[in-house]
Amino acid sequence: MSSIYTLIEILRSTQKFDLDNALYLERKPWSASSQALVLDPDDVEEALDPDSDPKEAKDFGMKYAIMMQDLDDICENLKSQVSSPTDDQIFQAFIYYMENDAFIKLRV
């Protein structure tokens, strides 16, 4: 069984996770304290439906959000603009990417 994290815990430390895994989140609206799981997206019981979420995610009412590699790219892009981003900046960069399919550009 995987550990449940808050979204901000995962955003702060994307490198600690296997980048081939995926982030699963509870339903929107998301907050920094939203519950989250990092799981292998291919660990599904329904072999006929490759888009199905892993059972553990379903058990917690979570859905696929994004691949960890993409999440790491979001955080690295932010760190290239701000050497020590705040939790709010990290969370806003995530939300911006999820809503715009693009990296945030800060005015610094």
For residue 55, is it within any domain? Answer: yes
Distance CA(25)–CA(41), nearest Å, equals: 13
Q: How many domains does the chain have?
A: 1
Laid out side by side, the sheet with 35-39 consists of 5-6, 35-39, 22-25, 63-67
Q: What is the pLDDT of residue 16?
A: 95
For residue 105, is it within any domain? Answer: no
For residue 108, is it within any domain? Answer: no
Q: Which domain holds residue 81?
A: 5-100
For residue 88, is it within any domain? Answer: yes
Distance CA(103)–CA(95), nearest Å, equals: 10
For residue 107, is it within any domain? Answer: no
Q: Helix, strand, or coil here: 11?
A: helix
Residue 105 pLDDT level (bands cut at 50, 70, 90): very high
Residue type, 85: P
Q: What is the pLDDT of residues 28-84, one digit of tens each?
A: 999 999 999 999 988 876 655 666 888 899 999 999 999 999 999 999 999 999 999
For residue 70, is it within any domain? Answer: yes
Task: Please list, in sequence order, all residues whose beta carbon lies within 8 angstroms of the beta carbon of residue 86, skipping any fewer than 6 positions away.
Answer: none
